[in-house]
Amino acid sequence: MHDTDTLIRSDLLERIQHKKERLDVYRPLPESAVRKLGNELRLLHTYHSNAIEGNTLTLQETKLVLEEGVTIGGKSLREHLEATNLAEAYDLIESIAKDKREIDHTTIQQIHEVVVRGIKVDAGKYRVHNVRITGATKTPPDFSKVTRMMDDLIAFLSLQDKEKKEQPVKTAAFMHHKLVEIHPFTDGNGRVARLLTNLFLVKEGYPPIVLRKEERGKYYRFLRLADGGNLEPFANFIAKSVDESLTLYLAIFGGADELIPLVDLGKLKECSYSQEYLALRARQGFLDAVKIGRKWFSTKRALTDYIREHAK
Rounded Cα–Cα distance for residues 145 and 143 (Å) = 5
Collect all residues with Cβ–Cβ distance below 8 Å to 208 and sequence separation of at least 6. Answer: 41, 45, 198, 201, 202, 245
199 phi and psi angles, rounded to 5 deg = -60, -45
Residue type, 128: V
Rounded Cα–Cα distance for residues 282 and 288 (Å) = 6
Q: Which of 105, 176, 183, 310 is catalytic?
A: 183
The answer to whether residues 297 and 289 touch, using CB atoms and an 8 Å cutoff, is yes
Collect all residues with Cβ–Cβ distance below 8 Å to 57 and sequence separation of at least 6. Answer: 47, 50, 51, 65, 72, 75, 79, 80, 83
Residue 177 appears among annotated catalytic residues: no
Which residues pair with residue 129 across a beta bridge? none
**For residue 290, what is the enclosing H or E element?**
strand 289-292
From the centroid of its chain, how far is CA 50?
13
From the centroid of its chain, how far is CA 123?
23
* Catalytic residue ranges: 183
